[in-house]
Structure 1
Amino acid sequence: MEKVMGILERILLPVADKLNNNRYLTALRDGFMVALPLIIFGSIFVVIANFPFLDQLLTEEAFTTYQNALNPASAATLSIMGLFVIVGIGYKLVEQYQLDAVYGGVVALAAFLILTPQVVEDVSGVIPTASIGAEGMFLGILTAFISAELYRFFVQKNWTIKMPDGVPGAVSRSFSALIPITLTLFVFLVIRIIFSYTPFDTVQNFIYSVIQQPLTALGSGLPATIIAVLLIQIFWFFGLHGQIIINSVFDPIWYALNDENLQAFQSGSELPNIVTKQFIDTFLVGMGGSGMTLSVIILIFVIGKSRQLKELGKLGAPAGIFNVNEPIIFGLPIIMNPLIIIPWLVAPVVITIITYFAMATGIVPKPAGIIVPWTTPPILGGFLATGNAWQGAVLQAFNLMVVCLIWWPFLKILDKNYYENEEPS
């Protein structure tokens, strides 16, 4: 066991350290965090607009009026979430270079809009929401990275307009950003013109056909999801925040899949994807945190004899209900603890497989694309994430019991070890 852990440590720690400190992955992660409050706001109103049994309590006309009144909340946030992510990424990336970050955000947005066709069914001057939603997410991320780097390059080359000392700061900064922004946006205008002479016609068509569709198909499959979940657990075992590291890579895929489900859910169509952002956040992380450690807390209260575990259970339970599990990760401990590596790695994989096939067979509805806050307690989270379906809540409860069974013998050994080493009270 120690030899295996040593090999894993030598291989994974350097990789994890590089990923954790990569400026682009950091900007990507922080860019999504900028958009998160808006996404949650829209998700709340999707839940309210589709409250269970409301369509049976109201007349068809009243229910339609009710939904039409609430739909702008999600249309102005979830449906165009790509725009907020683009601004966030551009802002956060330029901020890392200690430059005026707000211009990084606006130049990223403007560059993306230059590339975006503003025609819908021969009507010009309008932007299709698909281009700034799921289909446009990958292009938006690439555009934000490239535009922020171009802006940074031009600024650091001092290709700027210097204003006299007496000019107000806001005016001086605007003129200083003028040339870097102009050159950056000109590059994207040239890119748009070039693509108009290709068979793809637009950059969106090229990105979606050549890059996004294959990656999305890969990320939506069970094998890739199992690998992602395993890596999260392994990184955490070595004391690294696996969720942040892996989500930085997979979030663009999972959010795009999530948005496709949301659009289908709102239109009453069949949901296309099983694996989405909420598949991960609600049915894995949303059950006590990474590793579903709410089950560990429940087990502590059921079988725990040692004072150490009993006190840990009391300390970790309030936070664990809201999916915060640092007390368990550092108090059990989970990090570098060979006694629990097997359930720590096996349980999430088993739950991933159970959840996937429960949804694939139709026993449980697929995630409806509603972004449920990650602090939502289990059972309620499953109910909301599946579009107010009771089956989602039952699946979470079932999964918690499965995790308890997997952890039972290992926690029993750990508790016995602690108990035998404690002095009599």
Structure 2
Amino acid sequence: MNRFMEVLENVLMPVADKLNNNRYLTALRNGFMVALPLIIFGSIFVVIANLPFLDRLLGEEGYATYQNALGPASAATLSIMGLFVIIGIGYKMVEQRGGEAIYGGVVAIASFLVLTPQVVEDVSGGIPTSVLGAQGMFLGIFTAFFAAEIYQYFVKRNWTIKMPSGVPSAVSRSFSALIPITMTLTIFLAVRIIFSYTSFETVQNFIYTIIQEPLTVLGSGLPATIIAVLLIQVFWFFGLHGQIIINSVFDPIWYALNDQNLAAFQAGAELPNIVTKQFIDTFIVGIGGSGMTLAVVIGIFVIGKSRQLKELGKLGGPAGIFNVNEPIIFGLPIIMNPLVIIPWLLAPVIVALVTYFSMATGIVPKPAGVIVPWTTPPFLSGILATGNNIMGGVLQLFNMLIVFIIWWPFLKIMDKQYYENENKAA
């Protein structure tokens, strides 16, 4: 076991360190964090607009009026979430390099709009919201990366207009950004013109066909999901924040799948995807935190005899209800503890399989595309994530039971060891 752990550590630690410190993945992660409050706002109103039994209470016409009144909340946030992510990535990319971060966000979104066709159903002067949401997500991410890098390239070479010292700083900064922004946008305009002469016609079509669609199909499958879940657990075991590392890679895929489900849910159509952002966040990570340790806390209260476990349960219980589990990860401990490596790795994989097949068979509805705040307690979060369906909460409780059963013998062993050590010390 020690040899196996040593090999894992030597292989995974350098990879994880590089991923965690990669400036592009860091900017991508932070870009999504910029957009998150707006995404949650829109999701809350999607839930409110689709409360159960309202159609019977208000009547068909009244219910339609009610939904139309609340519709702009999600249309102005969730439907165009790609825009906020692009701004966030551009901002963070330039901020990392010590530049004027606001111009990083501005040049990123402007570059994306330069590449975006402004035609809706053969009528010019409009932008289809589909390219501002899930469909345009990957292009937006790549555009933000390139735009920020190109902008910084010109800034670092002092291709700027220097204003006299007496000019107000806001005006001076604006003129300093003029040439770098102009050069950056000119390059993206040239790219748009070039693609107009290809069979793809637009950069959006190229990215969606060559990159986004294949990756989305791959990310929506069960094998890739199991690998992602397993890696989250492995990284955490070695003291690295597994969610941050893995989410940096998978979030663009999971959010795109989420957005497809949301559009179908709002249209009353069949939901296309099982694996989405909420599949991971609500039914795996969102049951007490990574490793679903709320069930572990319950196990501690049930079987704990040692003072160490009892005190840990009191400390970790209230936080675990809101999906914060650092007290358990560092206090049990889980990090580098060979006694827990089997349940720590096995339980999330089993739960992911159970959740997937429960939704695939129709026992539990698929995630409706609603972004539920990660601190929402289990059961309630499951109901909200499945479009106000109680079976989502029931599935979370069943998942907790699975984790509880898997952890039971290992907790018994740990508790016995702690209890014996405490008696010897006494």
TM bracket (short chain): over 0.9
Partner of 1:162: 162
Shift of 1:56: 1.3
Partner of 2:402: 402
Partner of 1:84: 84
Alignment of 1:25-424 (within 5 A): 25-423=25-423
* Structure 1 unmatched ranges of 5 or more: none
Shift of 1:55: 1.0
Partner of 2:23: 23
Q: Measure, in 2, the Cα distance between the counterparts of 1:162 and 1:350.
A: 61
CA deviation vs aligned residue, 1:278-311 (integer Å, no higher than 9, x gap): 0000000110000000000000000011000000
1:352 alignment partner AA: A
CA deviation vs aligned residue, 1:229-265 (integer Å, no higher than 9, x gap): 0000000000000000000000000000000000000
Aligned-residue sequence identity (percent) comes to 79
Q: Measure, in 1, the Cα distance between the counterparts of 2:140 and 2:254.
A: 15
Q: Secondary structure at the match of 2:79?
A: coil
Q: Measure, in 2, the Cα distance between the counterparts of 1:308 and 1:321.
A: 20
Structure 1 consecutive aligned stretches of length 4 or more whose deviation exceeds 4 Å? none
Q: Secondary structure at the match of 1:59?
A: helix
* Structure 2 unmatched ranges of 5 or more: none
2:136 alignment partner AA: G
Q: Measure, in 2, the Cα distance between the counterparts of 1:286 and 1:71.
A: 27
Shift of 1:58: 1.2
Alignment TM-score, normalising by the size of structure 1 = 1.00
CA deviation vs aligned residue, 1:76-97 (integer Å, no higher than 9, x gap): 0000000000000000010000
Q: Measure, in 2, the Cα distance between the counterparts of 1:277 and 1:257.
A: 7
Q: Secondary structure at the match of 1:6?
A: helix
1:402 alignment partner AA: I
Q: Measure, in 1, the Cα distance between the counterparts of 2:181 and 2:41.
A: 32
Partner of 2:8: 8
1:90 alignment partner AA: G
Shift of 1:110: 0.2
Q: Measure, in 2, the Cα distance between the counterparts of 1:389 and 1:25.
A: 35
Q: Measure, in 1, the Cα distance between the counterparts of 2:386 and 2:421.
A: 46
2:91 alignment partner AA: Y
Aligned-residue Cα RMSD (Å) equals 0.6
CA deviation vs aligned residue, 1:140-175 (integer Å, no higher than 9, x gap): 000000000000000001000000000000000000
Q: Secondary structure at the match of 1:422?
A: helix
Q: Measure, in 2, the Cα distance between the counterparts of 1:184 and 1:231.
A: 38
Q: Secondary structure at the match of 1:58?
A: helix
1:179 alignment partner AA: I
Shift of 1:412: 0.6
2:369 alignment partner AA: G
Q: Measure, in 2, the Cα distance between the counterparts of 1:390 and 1:249.
A: 31
Q: Measure, in 2, the Cα distance between the counterparts of 1:388 and 1:309.
A: 36
Q: Measure, in 1, the Cα distance between the counterparts of 2:111 and 2:297.
A: 49
CA deviation vs aligned residue, 1:41-88 (integer Å, no higher than 9, x gap): 000000000001111111100000000000100000000000000000
2:339 alignment partner AA: L
Q: Measure, in 1, the Cα distance between the counterparts of 2:121 and 2:26.
A: 38
Q: Measure, in 1, the Cα distance between the counterparts of 2:285 and 2:230.
A: 13
Q: Measure, in 1, the Cα distance between the counterparts of 2:263 and 2:70.
A: 15
Q: Measure, in 1, the Cα distance between the counterparts of 2:116 and 2:416.
A: 62
Q: Measure, in 2, the Cα distance between the counterparts of 1:38 and 1:133.
A: 13
Shift of 1:421: 0.3
2:169 alignment partner AA: G
Q: Measure, in 2, the Cα distance between the counterparts of 1:202 and 1:366.
A: 33
Shift of 1:109: 0.1
Q: Secondary structure at the match of 1:80?
A: helix
Q: Measure, in 2, the Cα distance between the counterparts of 1:67 and 1:373.
A: 22
